[in-house]
Structure 1
Amino acid sequence: MRVSIVTGGSRGDVQPYVALGNGLVGAGHEVKVATYAPFEGFVRDRGLEYARLSGDPTRIVRTLQECGRDPVCIARRFFSELARFVEDNVGECMEACRGSDAVIYTPIGFVGSFVAQKLGVPAASAVLQPLIPTREFPSVIWPEAKVVSNDRLRGTYNRLTFSLTEQGFWQLFRFLVNGRVTRRLGLPHLPPLPTYFHKLRQRRELALCGWSPAVLPPPRDWDPWARVTGYWFLDRSEEWRPPAHLEDFLESGAPPVCVGFGSMSIRDPRITQTILSAFRSAGSRGCS
């Protein structure tokens, strides 16, 4: 089977899907990854086909970092960045996915969902965070209902957080989709309600969830089409060697503790102090 994976964003948004692609190759499939030009070498070095999508991952990360933890700012900047390239991405994605037997798309690679519809091939979403509604925990951008002791009320709250998040996202997102994606592909105009994501669940479209069930078991109210597969990690490269100064540090004492936030922007100095305090309390060592 020929599978195209459509993704974008930072290195952290691309690398897990390259690992997923390697797993599919190991299972006997042919895999192409459509993503931004700076990741071409990375994709090809891992033995996968590559297709170019217009986009600037450095600019996207920098722009979102400027918002801190302001969800309104993040949403506005995110849609603004997507809008800069989405029309080009539609044509590029069509070309990349032509001849594919299936398309896997990520949240940032959402164009892949519509291209799969146009081409008449099966599609599957692939996510790194739980985005499917459940009564067992809230949406990742909402707090837990710790003050609610009643399980039924807590479950209602949890489910409601997903509905509100999805509705808010869709009411912004649909203007971009209708104006620059479905119109260009000749697909039907999408209404305000129900959300596109709700329609995908009604279709029972396969959703691949890239985390360990030992860390977050699949909720009991999820349908079988939502599959928690385990993490998508790359195999260790036998050719890579750490820089000499890092190797010296690693060999000079006990195994260090690594604290990393990926491309997340942590600007609160109190968090840095908390990390340093934890290091001192644990008697651990680290370097930056």
Structure 2
Amino acid sequence: MRIAMLASGTRGDVQPMVAIGDELARRGHEVAVAVNSDLADWVTRAGLRAVPTGVDFKRFLSSAESRRMLAHGKVDTTIRRIVADEHRVNQQIVNACVRAAEGADVILTTVTMSLRGLCLEKATGVPSRILYSFPIVPTGDFSGIMPRVRDFRMAWANRGGSRMLNQLYWMRNKANLDEMSDLMGAPRVSRMPRQEERPGLHLYSPRVVPEPTDLPGGHELIGFPVLSDDLRDRLGERTVPAELDRWLDAGPEPVYFGFGSMPVLDPERTLRELIEVTARRGIRGLVGAGASWAGTPTACPTTCSSPGRSSTTTGSCPAAGRRCTTAARERRRRRCGPVSRRWWPASSPTSRSGAGGPNSCASEPPCRSAA
């Protein structure tokens, strides 16, 4: 089969697609990925054919403007800004999607590209399916990621939270979608699609978000796709820097704080708070500095020590975080209980602590035995 993948967003959005694409390629299928340009080289190193869309998410997330918008929970403002950036290169995005889907038997998309996948489906007749990396399909069990109330205790209100975000995303993207349909010579998508009506796979762990009791038919929660050791070798992400390796060997397994694309308004303050927390808990901490830490005027120290304890910061080093979690799993074999469904919504302001953002609800919960 020939599989087209339409992916857009941060590495956290794209990596699950790459893990699945790599496994499909290993089984003999042909895979092409239309992806934002800042991750195109990374997808190519994974051994998949990447088609750049011209969008640069890394530049957006590294800007002070995006950090302020995300940290203050301004979801609509963030969507407007992203849609405006996409509008400037919309024709290039359309061309990339069409090239990736040429001769495809199925189209798989991230949530952020699902509407474009539907446009392609209408233009080509090739079915498109959404791979959800976070819970956004309306459910009565808990509210969506947009309302600041985590559970309204009323099924209809909880569903309304997700539908409100989906409606907002549809409205903001409608002009770009109409242009895409016009460029392909296809009928415009006139009605907002309901996610419940389209089959999809949910790529997150039930230990992070419990499986909804009303998950629609055709939807399946399958867990988070993990990059294989062979794929990590190709990406150059299995080797831990020697200095960090020695630090990891010098004491008990640390707690890994991975920030990813979370906006951090004040990295130094955030790091100080993490040092204080790890010192109080009597544990070591490894801080994975995310995208918004780049370009910080005053660099964070490599190693920060408190009496008898230490915390270390590292840049984008997936191997380090993986080693921490693997070591803890193999040596302790501690079971982690499901995180409460009352996760911190994307729209909740977290600027008071200098950190926060849209991926907060996707973080692995701490082991209960370590709390």
Q: TM range, normalised to the smaller chain?
A: 0.7 to 0.9
Aligned counterpart, 1:65: 67
**Counterpart selection for 2:146 from 138, 141, 149:** 141
Q: CA contact under 8 A between 2:119 and 2:189: conserved in structure 1?
A: no
Map Cα deviations across residues 99-123 of structure 1 (whole Å, 9 max, x no partner). Answer: 1111111133342331233121111
Match of 2:312 in 1: 287
Give the structure 2 partner of residue 258 of structure 1: 256
Q: Which residue in 2 is equivalent to 1:243?
A: 241
Task: Please give the alpha-carbon distance, in whole angstroms, between the structure 2 residues aligned to 1:73 and 1:114.
Answer: 25
Aligned pairs for 1:105-124 within 5 A: 105-110=109-114, 111-124=116-129
Amino acid at match of 2:67: Q
- Pair 1:13-2:30 in alignment: no
Query: In structure 2, the residue corresponding to 1:91 is in which secondary structure?
Result: helix
- Greater Cα shift, 235-244 or 85-94: 235-244
Deviations 1:157-193 (A, max 9, x none): 2012122222222222212222x212222232344xx
Contact 2:76 2:168 in 1 (8 A): no
Q: Tell whether 2:216 aligns with 1:223.
A: yes
Question: 2:83 aligned to 79, 83, 90, which one?
Answer: 79
Q: CA deviation at 1:257?
A: 1.5
State the alpha-carbon separation in 1 of the partners of residues 283 and 112 from structure 2.
Answer: 37
- 2:79 is matched by which residue type in structure 1? A
User: For 2:101 and 2:189, how far apart are their aligned partners in 1?
Assistant: 22
- Structure 2 gaps of 5+ residues are 285-310, 314-371
CA gap of 1:246–1:40, structure 2 versus 1, over 3 A, is same
| CA apart distance, 1:207 | 1.1
Change (3 A) 1:217 1:224: farther
Report whether the alignment pairs 1:132 with 2:132.
Answer: no
Mean CA deviation greater in 242-251 or 52-61: 52-61
What's 1:158 paired with? 158
Q: Structure 1 residue 98 and structure 2 residue 102: aligned?
A: yes
Q: How far does residue 272 in structure 1 lie from its aligned partner after superposition?
A: 4.8
What is the percentage of aligned positions where both structures have the same residue?
Answer: 26
| Paired letter, 2:259 | F
1:210 is aligned to: 203
Name the CA distance, whole Å, in 1 between partners of 2:227 and 2:128.
23
* Deviations 1:47-73 (CA, angstroms, capped at 9, x unpaired): 322223222232232353242332232
State the AA in 1 paired with 2:42.
Answer: F
Q: How far apart are 1:279 and its partner, in Å? A: 0.6
Task: Return closer, same or farther for 1:253/1:27 CA change in 2, 3 Å cut-off.
Answer: same
Quote the residue 1:49 is aligned against: 49
* Paired positions, count: 276
2:360 equivalent in structure 1: none
Unaligned runs of 5+ in 1: none
Q: Secondary structure of 2:264's match?
A: coil
Q: Distance in 2 between matches of 1:160 and 1:109?
A: 22
The match for 1:169 is: 169
SS in 1 for 2:112: coil
